[in-house]
Amino acid sequence: MINNVDIVADLSWGDTGKGKIVSHLAKKKEYDFVCRWAGGNNAGHTVFLSGKKYKTHIVPCGVFHGVKSIIGPGCVVDPESLNEEIEYLDRYGFDVSLIKVSPRAHIVTKEHIEEDKAELAEKLGTTSKGIAPCYRDKMARTGQLAKDVLPESLLWDEQLYGDILCEGAQGFYLDIDWGNYPYVTSSTTLPYGACSLGFPPQKIRHIWGICKAYDTRSGVDPLFPEKLLKDRVLSKLGTLGKEYGVTTGRRRACNWLNLDMMLDAARITGATHLVVNKCDILKDFGVFKLFHNGELMKFKTYDEFSSYISDQIADCGSLIKHVFMSGHSERI
């Protein structure tokens, strides 16, 4: 029987530290499963354990803490990339037998990757991983299923029980429906997509919404024009925050936190908990700005900045009950 489901979802454009939050929650050993519900190896989650950095792209972060890690039916899987990731985790001593793939997940082929590189990468700033062509074939009912390609030992038996933690990929403003179309990902990033794993929405207990103390964006998007990469102050912030994509290595464009957009994302996702990551970076940078009601606001101190965010959350009518201003690489 399924008891409770908690979901970790991004409230901006990805790259907000969801992997850190999933790892922090999973290490408490309170969950029986950690599951991905959408996307593929276009995602990139970074986890620090005892100061050592690890990266995953498709495997959920539960594997770092001995928790069953499920790649769900809404995901798309590149078998070669998955095998490389499993070998990587195995080399570091993690129990890779915990990793299972839904038999209903779709397979990314070499043809998908080649098409992505040739037609989409430059135009839309994709990661060239074949994700969009794979989802297109899924919708056209011409795709390949994991059950027909992957070894049986790797397939999930589709059983869920106990307490479940769902690990989101990408970000709210990359969602196929809510993002700045067509500069979006090819799947749903909203937390309700996690129900495709096989549980009813009534089981959802907490939704952890994740953002950063400033905004970043990888890839092409008119909302993050190229001039941001050339802005002297924002470039220094990006350098201090080591803002480079986990999957592509591309430099991320930085901008000040858009509080209006973050609050909209929190409202639509139904976030109950908010984590604002990289507060340590902003503190060290010493410049505290955000956009609210269409205006750029500047604060004298970090305390004024963080208090303003908390006050606006309290007044916006969202479901958020707990706010964490986080500045640590391994914990909230």
The verdict on residue 50 lying in a domain is yes
3-state secondary structure of 161: coil
Please give the backbone phi and psi of residue 19, each rounded to the nearest 5 degrees, phi first: -60, -40
Burial label, 223 (beta-carbon count in 10 A; 0-12, 13-18, 19+): middle
The verdict on residue 278 lying in a domain is yes
pLDDT interval class at 246 (50, 70, 90):
confident
Question: Other C-beta atoms within 10 Å of 318: how many?
Answer: 21
Q: What is the greatest pairwise CA distance in the chain?
A: 59
Query: Within a 13 Å sphere around the CA of 201, how many CA atoms are in the beta-carbon half?
Result: 6
The verdict on residue 172 lying in a domain is yes
Give pLDDT tens digits for 181-222: 999 999 999 999 999 999 999 999 999 999 999 999 988 888
Give pLDDT tens digits for 21-44: 999 999 988 999 999 999 999 988
Give pLDDT tens digits for 257-315: 999 999 999 999 999 999 999 999 999 999 999 999 999 999 999 999 999 999 999 88
What tokens were used for 206?
A: 């907490």
Give pLDDT tens digits for 124-147: 778 889 999 999 999 999 999 999
pLDDT interval class at 318 (50, 70, 90):
confident
Burial label, 320 (beta-carbon count in 10 A; 0-12, 13-18, 19+): buried
- Read off the CATH number of the domain in which 163 is found: 3.40.440.10
Annotated catalytic residue: which of 45, 57, 65, 112? 45
Range 240-268 average pLDDT:
90
The verdict on residue 288 lying in a domain is yes
The verdict on residue 331 lying in a domain is no
For position 7, what pLDDT does the model report?
Answer: 98
Structural domain span for residue 245? 2-325
Range 57-69 average pLDDT:
96
CA distance linking residue 19 with residue 53, whole number of Å: 11
The verdict on residue 330 lying in a domain is no
The verdict on residue 62 lying in a domain is yes
Percent of the chain that is helix, strand, coil (3-state, to 5): 35, 25, 40
Give pLDDT tens digits for 74-98: 999 999 999 999 999 999 999 999 9
Give pLDDT tens digits for 101-114: 999 999 999 999 99
Annotated active-site residue 45? The verdict is: yes
216 neighbors 254 (Cβ within 8 angstroms): yes
> How many distinct structural domains can be found in the chain?
1
For position 27, what pLDDT does the model report?
Answer: 93
Flag whether pLDDT at 250 surpasses 90: no
What DSSP letter does each residue of 261-288 carry, written as one string? Answer: HHHHHHHHHT-SEEEEE-HHHHHHHT-E
The verdict on residue 60 lying in a domain is yes
- Mean pLDDT, the chain, as a whole number? 94
Annotated active-site residue 15? The verdict is: yes
Annotated catalytic residue: which of 6, 15, 175, 215? 15
Flag whether pLDDT at 235 surpasses 80: yes
Side chain identity at 125, as an amino acid letter?
Answer: G
